[in-house]
Chains A and B, each alone.
Chain A
Amino acid sequence: MKAMTSKEVTKKVFNKEPFFILDVRNETDFNDWKIEGENFEYLNIPYFDLLDGVEEILDKVPTDKEVLVVCAKEGSSVMVAEMLEEAGREVSYLQGGMKAWSEHLEPVKVGDLKDGGAMYQFVRIGKGCLSYAVVSNGEVALIDATRMTDVYLDFAKELGVEIKHVFDTHLHADHISGGRIIAEATGATYWLPPKDADEVTFSYQSLEDGNNVKIGETNIDINALYTPGHTIGSTSFVVDEKYLLSGDILFIDSIGRPDLAGKAEDWVADLRNSLYTRYKQLSDELVVLPAHFMIIEELNEDGSVSEKLGTLFAKNHGLNIEDEAEFRRLVTENLPPQPNAYQEIRETNMGKISPDEEKQREMEIGPNRCAVR
């Protein structure tokens, strides 16, 4: 029996490998959130129904593909994997369980920038969060960094670059931002849209429409574009006249929801204006890099999440609703459940509460649920 890391499982997701997941968490947790893969098969039997043995499920566990036993934190999956091994099966268990899966970040290079710079996307595969590093000439800017701050600090160290600027596109409701901590650790400037930050308890650099920040000597432009709708402060970035970082306004197969700060009705018009007017004025050639993905089908071949703006205007349903009333209904009615602990997450990101790491983990459990499709 061997441990499989989240990184190894991520490879299987990216490569669309056939894979069998025996998830031994309770049914509610499994139905709420699981490891997604296009060619993954699942069996959910809670570990507490297997205490007397695994004989009853042996014929449901395949022998012709790799099998991974998964639970919340690891303990129960080790127990079940051991039982399967005793029954003559070769299986692995997920190291650290779904807790580790939720925290895993996979860096993917999205493309080059002018004069040798590069754009990297950090895919938080288990939760669907995307963060970014804009690297140029010894400097790096981070956008929508998660609370796994070591990943970004190590990344910068490995590349031998200095973190100079840290941005959040908006006040997040689905995950805890690592922006402030990274800025404090590195002396970088922490930028926030002021309209999302009126309740924050710390100092920050105000990010306004039209602000222009340069990374490295090679003048990689980061242009702030005020695009309210998901939140009142939501700001997009056009980087190097090539990439559109759309935050939680526009995703690949969906659009942002306006209700997570309790203002759905008020913000619908803003959301529509941002998508149908402001984005419409931008070049179709811009590559959209969102802050989330919702479904695994949104991943490209290399695991990255991106698409040309022109393609999204042609294919994304949320950008093609002519009737305003219908648009309003889509983004305010029959919304999916809100992200787990979203109010507490917002308060943490404002600096109002400071839960310990264990509590932060627990608050973030589950999918991001920031979109409407």
Chain B
Amino acid sequence: MNVAKVLDAKGLACPMPIVKTKKAITDLQSGEVLEIHTTDKGAVKDLAAWAQSTGNELLKHEEENGVFKFWMKKA
């Protein structure tokens, strides 16, 4: 996957992972992919719901040693 930017939001509590994601994705072009790292478990449901409400596409997410990784394609 072609990742345009990686956002490190590890150690941040809700709402910061999404606040940062929103900021980071505004700098991207439509169709580019943002990779997000967070340790906030609540972000799993919230990022999926946020993607739905904004039209951005959550391509996939995975967990690795307590770090949740997301790939979000800008609408």
Contacts and interface: CB of A to CB of B under 8 A. Distances in A.
A48 B15 contact: yes
5 contacts: A46-B49, A47-B18, A48-B49, A49-B53, A72-B42
A28 interface: yes
Interface of A: 26-29, 46-49, 51, 71-73, 75-76, 79, 362
Most buried by A among B14, B22, B46, B53: B14
A203 B18 CA distance: 47
Contacts of B16: 75
Given A46-B50, A47-B18, A48-B46, 10 more contacts: A26-B45, A28-B45, A47-B14, A48-B49, A49-B50, A75-B14, A75-B16, A76-B14, A79-B15, A362-B41
Contacts of B53: 46, 48-49
Interface residues of B, number: 14
B4 interface: no
Interface of B: 13-16, 18-19, 22, 41-42, 45-46, 49-50, 53
Contacts of A46: 46, 49-50, 53
A305 to B, nearest CB: 31
A73 B46 CA distance: 13
Contacts of A73: 13-14, 42
Contacts of B14: 47, 71-73, 75-76
A75 B50 CA distance: 17
Contacts of B42: 72-73
